[in-house]
A = this chain, B = another copy of it.
Amino acid sequence: MAIQALVFDVFGTLVDWRNSIAKEAQTLLSPLGLTTDWHSFADAWRNEYQPAMEKIRSGQRAFCDLDQLHLDNLELVLTRLGWHQVDQGTKVHLNRAWHRLAAWPDVSEAMKLLRSRFILAPCSNGHIALMVQLARTNDWHWDAIAGAELAGDYKPQPKVYLRSAAALGFRPEETMMVAAHSSDLEAAAHAGLKTAFIARPDEYGPGLGESVPTTPVDWVGENLLDLAKKLTT
């Protein structure tokens, strides 16, 4: 059974959220006289990501998109810092930094190579509009936007992977999940998809990302370009 489609994790796997968010936070908040370690600010914001989604996965909260969860989480971090002077317009603009994240340097070339062989779609917890804007920011060509919004739930719920493969018109085993996170790939494999791990060793700071998978996977790449070369030659 040949692989027909690749579906991608996005935050961390394709884009460097930590440096992008640190930079935008500094740019937008330091003119207000606010100062902190901006990478720690990015980490603190991101740390609220899984708990916010867990409320939805567990049924405690109705499905809502990541713009809403990111904004709720930003409020939490700002309150914790005592930064009450940040106005709503600045919060909304900073929150949209998640639509403007920069890709890791190997992604652009890798995506072009992969698209010559496979149907490509994100299978991210980001919603469709966010994925559209990230693709515009980084000049990606997706065949479709799959993922959380289509499934009405968040990864690692199996329906997110299954709905994504089905929407593209393929069986789970014809579809491969590509991610830099073993937990994501473990869930995808459990749902019946093929899996490819790529290393993003600096995702959470230098050397603090995953360099090797901690779960069995079908393919491993040093980065996306390395994987793309392996899959297309």
Q: Please indicate the chain B residues that have their CB under 8 angstroms from the CB of A130 in the complex.
A: 169
Q: Please indicate the chain B residues that have their CB under 8 angstroms from the CB of A131 in the complex.
A: 144
CA distance A119 to B128 in the complex (A): 12
Residue tally, chain A, CB below 8 Å to B:
21
B149 engages A143 (CB within 8 Å): no
A144 engages B132 (CB within 8 Å): yes
Q: Please indicate the chain B residues that have their CB under 8 angstroms from the CB of A135 in the complex.
A: 143
Q: Is A168 an interface residue (CB 8 A)?
A: yes
A144 engages B141 (CB within 8 Å): no
CA distance A144 to B147 in the complex (A): 12
Which residue in chain B gives the minimum CB-CB distance to A150? B150
**Complex interface residues of chain A between 107 and 159 (CB less than 8 A to chain B):** 119, 127-133, 135-136, 141-145, 149-150
A168 engages B129 (CB within 8 Å): yes
B119 engages A132 (CB within 8 Å): yes
Q: Is A62 an interface residue (CB 8 A)?
A: no
B119 engages A169 (CB within 8 Å): no
Q: Is A167 an interface residue (CB 8 A)?
A: yes
Chain B's nearest CB lies how many Å from the CB of A64?
12
Selected from B133, B142, B168, the residue in CB contact (under 8 A) with A169 is: B133
Q: Contacts A141-B141, A144-B144, A145-B145; is A168 near B128 (CB within 8 Å)?
A: yes
Selected from B132, B133, B150, B169, the residue in CB contact (under 8 A) with A132 is: B169
Chain B's nearest CB lies how many Å from the CB of A134?
11
Chain B's nearest CB lies how many Å from the CB of A115?
10
Q: Contacts A150-B150, A167-B149; is A132 near B128 (CB within 8 Å)?
A: no
Chain B's nearest CB lies how many Å from the CB of A143?
5
CA distance A142 to B170 in the complex (A): 20
